[in-house]
Amino acid sequence: MKLYPALFALAGLAYAGTVTASEIAPDDVKIVDGAVEQPLTDSPGDPERGLVSFTGRKAGNCLACHYVESLQDDYQFHGEVGTPLDGIADAYTAAEFRAKLINPKTELPDTIMPAFYRTSGFNRAAGKFDGKTILTAQEIEDVIAYLMTLKD
């Protein structure tokens, strides 16, 4: 499935900041055996919105560390620090992606990947971020939906 980033940027801006009626709070999430089986929201993830969060420099900014070949023509400055993500959906389940996005340090304590759905326990975080997550519960589910499109 080809996703057209420019077309979805406006949709992402319109969507930003909305909260679903029911979501799991960061402190209530339990990572078990490297996975979080239950989605964080009642609303399914949307891969097009997920792409917006994945590539957004003020959102997930995943391309700062990860390379995705299918995005190289539309986005500059792919990172080389993180795992290349081409075909990654063949290696992980949505539940495993959810755990990695919520708090990758659970399994890889030395990783520099941030915890996208935590509100405490950070080192050197600016005070304005106290009690806030990097991504919302819905944005996590949307990024997972996008990652699930990255198959070989």
Rg (CA), the chain: 15
Write down the mean pLDDT value for the chain: 85
Q: Which residues pair with 118 in a beta bridge?
A: none
Residue 1, token pair as written in the block:
């499935």
Q: How confident is the model at residue 12 (pLDDT cuts 50, 70, 90)?
A: very low
Q: Write the DSSP assignment of 27-52 as a string of letters.
A: GG---BTTB--S-SBSSPP-HHHHHH
Identify the pLDDT of residue 149: 98
Q: Is the pLDDT of residue 16 over 60?
A: no
Residue 26, token pair as written in the block:
């960061």
List the single range of 10-14, 110-114, 117-121, 145-149 with lowest mean pLDDT. 10-14
Single out the residue of 52, 53, 112 nearest to residue 82, CA to CA. 112
* 138-152 average pLDDT score: 97
Q: How many CA atoms lie within 13 A of 26 on its CB side?
A: 18
Q: Is the pLDDT of residue 4 over 80?
A: no
Q: Is the pLDDT of residue 33 over 80?
A: yes
| Number of other CB atoms surrounding residue 30 within 10 Å | 10
Residue 121 DSSP SS3:
coil
- In tens, the pLDDT along 71-88 reads 999 998 889 999 999 999
Q: How confident is the model at residue 137 (pLDDT cuts 50, 70, 90)?
A: very high
Q: How confident is the model at residue 126 (pLDDT cuts 50, 70, 90)?
A: confident
Residue 76, token pair as written in the block:
């500059």
More confident residue, 1 or 22: 22
DSSP code, position 84: P
Q: Give me the domains of the chain, ranges plus CATH numbers.
A: 5-10+30-147 (1.10.760.10)
